A and B are shown apart, each in its own frame.
Chain A
Amino acid sequence: MNFSGEHHPRLITTVRAALALIPVIALLVGPFFLNRTRPFILGLPFLMFWISAWAVIAAAAMGGVYWLDPRRKTHGKDRD
């Protein structure tokens, strides 16, 4: 499998930007529409669940951003 930026550089850049931006938008815009207590999810009031869930999704998304980062391949060639 080859997802390297050499083959789809523009697509890769777009996907990475989207991955990084979606959690940010969810956290900045979400509270305007989802400022509510119910339903409770995993024991948490809804807004608190929303914020916590996006922290978890953001970690996964940033993992994706890193995985697709063309610079990742240069790792190991830096100075020690």
Chain B
Amino acid sequence: MALTVVLLVFALAMGLGLAARRGRQMDLEQWTIGRRGFGSILVFLLMAGEIYTTFTFLGASGYAYGRGAPAFYIIAYGVVAYALGYWFLPRVWRYANDHGLITQADFFAHRFDSRGLGIAVGLIGVVAMLPYLALQLEGLGLIVQITTQNAVGSTTAIVIGTIGLVFYVVISGIHASAWTAVAKDILVLGLAVFLGLYLPYHAYGGIGDMFHKLAVEFPHLLNLHDPQGPLWFSTTVLVSALGFWMWPHAFAYTFSARDEHIFRRNAIYLPLYQLLLLFIFFAGFAALGIVPGLSKPDLALLAASASTLPGWVLGLIGGAGLLAALVPGSLLLIVTAALLAKNGLALLPGFDTEQRTHLAARILVLPIAIGAAAFAIFGNTGIVGLLLLGYSYISQLFPALAFSFLSRRRVGSAAVYAGLASGALVVTILTLTHKHVVTLLPFLPRALTGLNDGIAALVVNIAMLLLVHAFTVRRPEPLPQV
């Protein structure tokens, strides 16, 4: 029964993805950013696609199950990011629209007048997105395997999902992501609300009763404690919010918007949409009463569902998990291919016409997808670590971009390189030595335990950027204000 439902959802996704192409002449701009023609709802769903991914069914509920209150940082950072986006996104959109930019690397190359910086930003983007894509595929495999109760193994699910993904991405581009996003959000949100109400009711008799009982059984889960104390919470919310808009695919859905007011209106609704994650947390907490002591907390929501719900509901969860992987997965795939083609290959002779760049991007989809799928199937231990590293690298782009909008003088590419490289170096040292800022610099007070490492990297980044900016030759021309 579950298998039939999962297959139906998969067929629906493929149908929507392929139909999305109808009546459109495809070129690189159409394929990557929908020729800047998406209205409020599609842009909203692409943005929200970031919130409701396979991570929602695995990591987010697992965080509530395993650690409790710290999970709420996910709701908090979204709210901070959207407030930031109100001012930030219209400026980014306007600049890209005025200059006909398609990728994030285009944006940096144009904004800082440096083709080399474009290549560097493109590379960082590709390195950060590949583990993200692999993680979505791995999540897809896990969700389908558990919800179909091993009728479909995770490797089979990953292979079939990847084939479908390649097929509809090559044909419809970002239109496939947008159309599937509609089906995905209806299904995911419906299930989130249902599971968030049903599982607490089933295990504890209701949400209020659940928390009162958890306060006795697991009191430490209901507020923050070191090493994830208030300082951890606050700095992690800040770093995550600053990094949120720095993903290359965030630029893609920003560029896809028809006008800049879309971002301002969406900033009103997105916090409420983000709040629906509460239900996912409720499901994670309820799993403590249904399937206690799991060795893998990420499986909390799925395991609790599998032990309490009939096959067809599990099938819907499996289908939702599939869509939750396909939508962000397709966007990641498109943007990675576009970056490699437009900001890499297109600089070589022979690939420099628009038509050839577009063809190259669509052909590149296949090797990228195969690479990510192989990563998801064989390399499962290192993915989360790589994703965190990628996230830290990506957020290092924020200071340069912020300065370029705040300062009237053009920030030179040398200053941007210096900031990026030093920030990335700090991140790399902290990651490779498995140390935190406080353990690496023992003279810092113990009160700083929990300080997010990204903050340290950003501080070094900003300091270097300002230093080099102060010492480099000032260009006479002022930066066009946007």
Contact = CB atoms under 8 A, between A and B. Distances in A.
A55 B212 contact: no
A72 B478 CA distance: 28
Interface in A19-74: 20-21, 23-24, 27-29, 31-32, 35-38, 40, 42-48, 51-52, 54-56, 58-59, 62-63, 65-66, 69, 71-72
Given A20-B86, A37-B222, A45-B223, A28 B69 contact: no
B59 to A, nearest CB: 18
Contacts of A66: 86, 264-265, 267-268
Contact of A55 (B208, B223, B231, B272): B272
Contacts of A63: 268
B397 to A, nearest CB: 21
A59 B69 contact: no
Interface in B207-222: 207-208, 211-212, 215, 219, 222
B83 interface: yes
B211 A47 contact: no
Given A27-B80, A45-B223, A47-B224, A59 B269 contact: yes
Interface stretch (B254-262, B328-336, B406-414): B254-262
A2 to B, nearest CB: 21
B72 interface: yes
A80 interface: yes
B259 A79 contact: yes
B272 A43 contact: no
A42 B284 CA distance: 19
Contacts, number: 115
A45 B68 CA distance: 11
B38 interface: no
B405 to A, nearest CB: 16
Nearest to B235: A28
A20 B264 CA distance: 12
A52 B80 contact: no
B278 interface: yes
B167 to A, nearest CB: 32
Given A35-B230, A37-B219, A59-B271, A43 B208 contact: yes
A32 B261 CA distance: 35
A78 interface: yes
Contact of B224 (A23, A31, A58, A59): A31
A20 B87 CA distance: 10
Do most interface residues of chain A lie in helix, strand or loop, or is the interface mixed? helix
Contacts of A37: 215, 219, 222-223
Nearest to A43: B208
B83 A58 contact: yes
A31 B230 contact: yes
A36 B220 CA distance: 10
A21 B219 CA distance: 32
Contact of A56 (B215, B230, B272): B272
A13 to B, nearest CB: 12
Contacts of B271: 55-56, 58-59, 62
A63 B271 CA distance: 11
A3 to B, nearest CB: 17
Contacts of B230: 31-32, 35
B76 interface: yes
Given A24-B83, A27-B237, A55-B274, A35 B76 contact: no
B80 A28 contact: yes
B278 A52 contact: yes
B233 A78 contact: no
Contacts of B134: none
B164 interface: no
A35 B274 CA distance: 21
B238 interface: yes
Contacts of A28: 76, 80, 234, 237-238
A75 interface: yes
B82 interface: yes
B75 interface: yes
Nearest to B78: A55
A52 B83 contact: no
A62 B238 CA distance: 18
Given A47-B69, A62-B86, A56 B275 contact: yes
Please provide the 9 A-B residue pairs with the shortest distance between their CB atoms, ordered closest to farther.
Answer: A43-B208, A78-B259, A31-B230, A45-B222, A37-B222, A59-B271, A32-B230, A55-B275, A58-B271
18 contacts: A27-B79, A28-B234, A32-B231, A35-B223, A38-B215, A43-B208, A44-B207, A45-B211, A47-B224, A56-B271, A56-B272, A58-B79, A58-B82, A58-B271, A66-B86, A69-B264, A71-B261, A71-B264
Interface of A: 20-21, 23-24, 27-29, 31-32, 35-38, 40, 42-48, 51-52, 54-56, 58-59, 62-63, 65-66, 69, 71-72, 75, 78-80
Given A40-B212, A48-B72, 16 more contacts: A23-B79, A24-B80, A27-B79, A28-B76, A32-B230, A35-B224, A36-B223, A37-B223, A43-B208, A48-B222, A55-B79, A58-B79, A65-B267, A66-B86, A72-B261, A78-B260
